């Protein structure tokens, strides 16, 4: 059963948060703001007020899971999810959301997928490629895998958005999106646009977007 819709009248209901404990935070904020979506870093319980969605970014999943417990934010995420907040986990974020981890205990366990951490090997086995994800964009999208997990299995109620060879790279339920790769590290806004719409928000039309993105654009936000 899908969780209830977010309350559009709540403060910040048109906002997407990015979990800012560790990992690639500013890159996600930069992409959302290019789409005209109100976005903010989320570090404490008060930051969750009225969020339509939360991005759980890439980073180090063991570190992130410990910090979530230390600051009590794991319980906040679970509660806000039940209240209607949408979730998107990229790389480590997908690991945290998975119901099953190969050889390990799961963390939040909110989407019925099985994930293998470091599925491709070490940092040296990171890679880039392109793939068509028809539900997200009519054009092939650039994908960046950094010490990435593999999604080995998707259970009932989980739609596979992208499968490459023997692993799933992107999947979703009505309330959760997971990607094994890092859309925030490319110039493409397609996945961020897709998630914004999943949250009930309306991003800017393509012709109104700021075209000046480069690999260091996010650094201006790190000074905020």
- Residues labelled as active-site residues: 91, 182, 184
CA dist., res. 112 & res. 120, Å (int)? 21
Q: Which residue has the tokens 């019925």?
A: 112
Strand-pair category, 15-19 with 53-56: parallel
C-alpha dist (Å) from residue 134 to 92, 146, 161, 172, 190: 24, 23, 8, 14, 11
Give me the DSSP letters along 110-146. Answer: -EEEEEETTTT-SGGG-EEEEE--TTT-SS-EEEEES
């Amino acid at each position: 059963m899908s969780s209830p819709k977010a309350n559009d009248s709540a403060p910040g209901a048109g906002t997407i948060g990015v979990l800012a404990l560790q990992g690639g935070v500013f890159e996600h904020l930069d992409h959302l703001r290019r789409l005209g979506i109100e976005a903010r870093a989320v570090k404490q319980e008060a930051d969750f007020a009225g969020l339509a969605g939360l991005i759980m970014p890439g980073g180090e999943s063991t570190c992130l899971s410990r910090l979530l417990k230390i600051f009590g934010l794991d319980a906040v995420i679970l509660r806000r999810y039940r209240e209607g907040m949408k979730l998107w986990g990229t790389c480590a974020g997908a690991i945290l959301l998975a119901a099953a981890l190969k050889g390990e205990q799961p963390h939040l366990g909110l989407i019925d997928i099985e994930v293998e951490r470091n599925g491709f090997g070490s940092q040296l086995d990171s890679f880039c490629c392109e793939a068509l994800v028809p539900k997200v964009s009519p054009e092939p999208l650039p994908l960046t895998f950094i010490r990435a997990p593999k999604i080995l299995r998707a259970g009932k109620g989980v739609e596979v958005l992208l499968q490459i060879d023997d692993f799933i790279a992107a999947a979703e339920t009505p309330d959760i999106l997971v990607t094994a790769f890092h859309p925030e590290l490319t110039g493409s806004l397609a996945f961020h646009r897709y998630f914004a719409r999943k949250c009930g928000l309306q991003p800017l039309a393509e012709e109104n977007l700021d075209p000046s993105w480069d690999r260091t654009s996010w650094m201006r936000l790190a000074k905020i």
